[in-house]
Structure 1
Amino acid sequence: MLRIGVTGQAGFVGKHLYNTIGLFQEEFERIEFEKDFFEDEAKLSDFVSQCDVIVHLAAMNRHNDPQVIYDTNLGLVQKLINALNKTNSKAHVIFSSSTQEERDNLYGKSKKEGRELMAQWAKTSGGKFTGMIIPNVFGPFGHPNYNSVVATFSHKIARNETPTIEVDGDLKLIYVGELVDEILKVIKKGESNESLIVPHTAESKVSNLLALLERYKSEYQDKGIIPQLENKFETNLFNTFRCYIDIPNYFPVKFTQHTDPRGAFVEVIRLNVGGQVSFSTTVPGITRGNHFHTRKIERFAVIKGKALIQLRQIGTDEVLDFYLDGNEPAYVDMPIWYTHNIKNVGDEELYTIFWINEFYDPNDPDTYFENV
């Protein structure tokens, strides 16, 4: 079993990588990393000594003074090298660099020089080293005004703010889940490569990104419509946008009921995309679910009975509780990387309609069990 440590474990890419590694418990063991390890030589050396693989993601992306970015990033690399030398480590170090390496800025310079320093360490120590040159990364839970323009736009649009385009450039992009897959391939392969260029998986003008995100806001957030998603990139972008909605205050969304002497009619979902609809009954006191998805879009609609739907983002402790009552039919959508369940908290059978955007495939279920 490979023991893997991730510097920058709590950061944008680090969180996704750490959580994904946790899905492969028979292959990998996660070695915990904390930010203050870089300020304590003993703690950093202890961390390094436990690792077969170290993915070095810790870095500063933005600061008012570019020199601070340069000094910080090279300082982190040097501290890691010192710990590797002190512990006589032969770990496979995987370093995240950037396509900004060739640009005339101190961030790009810090990444290139850091990669070269790590490559030199591997040559002199007998360790393994892979330097990954990565395009622009986007995905859920990125920090606005820091990690990516997608994070900034999504955060603002979801809060009814108006983003501005400074330069309508053409961006080469990779979704964070796809980048994690590339890192896992490098880990499993276990071979050195000083300058591994990670290919982008999508390309878009900034204005096109903004237009797509504004459409998701209009259709999904404002009207509850699942938008048409033309390809994997658009699905990834939509799932990214969904994570910036103020979930505790947005759900549950009540349906519009149409009643007459015959009874009531409720429109459950409007789809510009396909998928699968299911129906369940649940007896009082029973809980369904306690799992999460990394790519699927899912809606729980309660039409009869009383339910408690709970959500918790993987890697966090906060549980969101939503109480739904069939007397006022409503729905909650499941964000990716949130484990979720539904419990009958009433005295009668609970009737629930489920929609998910993919047919169930037992060979690729994208369903991971974890209690809320």
Structure 2
Amino acid sequence: MKIVVTGAKGFIGKNLCIMLREHGHKDIIEVDRNTTREELSTFLSEADFVYHLAGVNRPKNEAEFEQGNSELTTYIIDKLTSYGRVVPIAISSSTQAEHDNPYGKSKLLAEKTVEQYGKFSGASYYIYRFPNVFGKWCRPNYNSFVATFCYNTLNNLDITINDPSASVTLVYIDDVCHSLISLLNGSINSGFNSVLPEYPTTVGYVADLLAGFKNSRDSLTIENVGTGFCRALYSTYLSYMSPNQFSYNIPCYGDERGVFSEMLKTKDAGQFSFFTAHPGVTRGGHYHHTKNEKFLVVKGKALFKFEHIATGECYELKTESDLPLIVETVPGWSHDITNIGAEEMIVMLWANEIFDREAPDTFARPLK
């Protein structure tokens, strides 16, 4: 299958071409601003599917709307028709096609041209009226406020917000590409398509989330970035980092026993830390009523001891880094860990709640 992608160097096109190759499509013809009309004509004569993503949304004058949107679409359709081949086509339009402005009118005309082609030729056609698309590689200070906010937040530049409560609907670039690629199997009906999920939100909420992402390096407390909109926005935010922003320091506290450092705190899934212990050193000697911890020795050998604070029952176990073993602390059992090896011991630690100095749920009780 030969796939022609116009606007291949643009935000959506660049992501789409990479994902197409990931899906095993190797014969992808990328069309960009440097492609001549003659070259485009040749490409269209061989095409088995066309993604028409090229367009103009920031012209020097209004006439460019028509040239870059409706006229280019008409050229593509005329060429496909003249070759007498039934070639499916997907076109990126905009929600502005519903509005009476030069950009919207040019997009609406492009839509109608594609629709007429599909109905006349019998070719499958797919029209996407994209809302605000966000994700990696979108140019900041151009036509995406999300890209601009990400870039400015990371680079300590001011963000201009006229109305924080202004509503906006967003779709994520990965979801856009997955939807576009799904068209290739021919199982989707012609007509208007939409990308799911859509994320209805406000400009102010986006700005607040981005500020939270930035502050997390100081507070060590990350937003809920594992699912949904927050996951997609966090990924987008990270993509605007320059290499010198790829790393950051965290506090590290040391004494005669070794060092302790908190790595990451979450809002509803606890926190991650690590500590070291010199040979013969014992850490712990306390219990919790509710808090749970999970330990993993990643270097060295350890002896864990437990004592039930009510019955006095005792238990101990040994573990080492060569045989990874998660050791749980159980509420109501005092516990400690001793380095029984000849080298420094390193232990990863997860706790199901963030440490609260005002209510630590940690009570000293050395073990025998």
1:98 is matched with 94
Q: Is residue 257 of structure 2 the alignment partner of residue 262 of structure 1?
A: yes
Task: Please name the residue that 1:187 is paired with.
Answer: 184
- Structure 1 175/253 Cα, relative in aligned 2: closer, same or farther at 3 Å? same
Q: Which amino acid aligns with 1:29?
A: K
Aligned counterpart in structure 1 of residue 234 of structure 2, from 234, 238, 262:
238
Kept in 2, the 8 Å contact 1:98–1:108? The answer is yes
Residue of 211, 227, 232 corresponding to 2:208: 211
* Cα shift readout 1:241-286 (whole Å, capped 9, x = no counterpart): 111122x11133344332323333333333336599899xxxxxxx
Deviation, 1:154, is 0.9
- CA deviations 1:108-145 (Å, max 9, x no partner) are 11111101112222333343212122222111221112
Name the CA distance, whole Å, in 2 between partners of 1:263 and 1:171. 51
C-alpha deviation, 1:233, in angstroms = 0.8
Q: CA distance change for structure 1 residues 177 and 269 in 2, over 3 Å: closer, same or farther?
A: same
Paired amino acid for 2:36: E
Letter in structure 2 aligned against 1:13:
I
TM-score (norm 1): 0.67
State how 1:336-355 maps to structure 2 within 5 Å. none
Aligned partner of residue 62 in structure 1, secondary structure: coil
1:163 CA displacement: 0.8
Q: Is the 8 A contact 1:227 1:273 kept in 2?
A: no
Question: Does residue 118 of structure 2 align to residue 122 of structure 1?
Answer: yes
Q: Name the aligned partner's letter for residue 19 of structure 1.
A: I
* Distance change >3 Å, CA 63–CA 267, structure 1 → 2: same
Ranges in structure 1 where 5+ consecutive residues have no aligned partner? 280-302, 305-350, 356-372
Counterpart amino acid of 2:146? V
Q: How many angstroms does 1:352 deviate by? A: 11
Q: Which residue of 2 aligns with 1:150?
A: 146
SS at match of 2:265: coil
User: 2:171 touches 2:199 (CA, 8 Å); kept in 1?
Assistant: yes
For 2:189 and 2:266, the matched residues in 1 are separated by 46
Cα pair distance change 1:183/1:191, threshold 3 Å: same
Q: Which residue of 1 aligns with 2:21?
A: 22
SS at match of 1:96: strand
Label 1:153 to 1:22 Cα distance change in 2 as closer, same or farther (>3 A): same
Deviations 1:204-258 (A, max 9, x none): 11111111111112224x4554323485111111111111122x11133344332
Partner residue in 2 for 1:57:
53
Instruction: For 1:110 and 1:141, locate their aligned partners in 2 and report how far apart those are by CA, in whole Å.
Output: 25
Pick which of 69-78 and 187-196 moved more.
187-196
Report the CA distance between 1:76 and its aligned residue. 1.7
C-alpha deviation, 1:77, in angstroms? 0.9
Write the mapping of 1:155-166 to structure 2, written as runs, cut at 5 A. Answer: 155-166=151-162
What's the C-alpha RMSD, in Å, of the aligned pairs? 3.1
After superposition, the Cα gap between the structure-2 partners of 1:261 and 1:198, relative to the gap in structure 1 and judged at 3 Å, is closer
Deviation string, structure 1 residues 311-351 (Cα, Å, up to 9, x no partner): xxxxxxxxxxxxxxxxxxxxxxxxxxxxxxxxxxxxxxxx9
Displacement of 1:64 in angstroms is 4.4
* Structure 1 match to 2:172: 175
Q: SS of the counterpart of 2:161?
A: coil
Superposed displacement of residue 73, structure 1: 1.3
Equivalent residues of 1:144, 1:155 under 8 A apart = yes
Aligned amino acid, residue 262 of structure 1: R
Residues in 2 aligned to 1:61 and 1:352: alpha-carbon distance in whole angstroms: 54
What SS is found at the alignment partner of 1:108?
Answer: helix
Segments of structure 2 that go 5 or more residues without pairing to the other structure are 275-297, 300-345, 351-368
Checking the alignment, whether the CA contact within 8 Å between 2:265 and 2:271 is kept in structure 1 is no
In 2: Cα distance, 1:202 partner to 1:228 partner: 16
Question: Per-residue deviation at 1:70?
Answer: 3.0
| TM-score, normalising length: structure 2 | 0.67
> Is 1:13 paired with 2:12?
yes
Q: Structure 1 stretches (4+) deviating beyond 6 angstroms?
A: 275-279
Helix, strand or coil at the partner of 1:144: coil
Distance 1:231 1:191 in 2: 27
Is the partner of 1:10 in helix, strand or coil? coil
TM-superposed deviation, 1:155 = 0.9
> Using a 3 Å threshold, how does the CA distance of structure 1 residues 100 and 83 change in structure 2: closer, same or farther?
same
Query: Are residues 133 and 251 of structure 1, via their aligned partners in 2, closer, same or farther at CA, if it must alter by over 3 Å?
Result: closer
Q: Distance in 2 between matches of 1:78 and 1:108?
A: 16
Distance 2:156 2:199 in 1: 27
The residue that corresponds to 1:3 in the other structure is 2
Partner residue of 2:248? 253
Task: Find out whether 1:33 has 2:30 as its counterpart.
Answer: yes
Aligned residue number for residue 107 of structure 2: 111
Measured in 1, the distance between the counterparts of 2:50 and 2:212 equals 40
Higher Cα Rg: structure 1 or 2? 2
SS of corresponding position for 1:90: coil
Alignment length (residue pairs): 280
- Cα deviation for residue 9 of structure 1 reads 1.4
Given that 1:9 and 1:18 are in contact with CA atoms closer than 8 Å, whether structure 2 keeps it comes out as yes
Specify the code of the residue in structure 2 equivalent to 1:253.
Y
* C-alpha distance in structure 2 between counterparts of 1:352 and 1:254, whole Å: 19
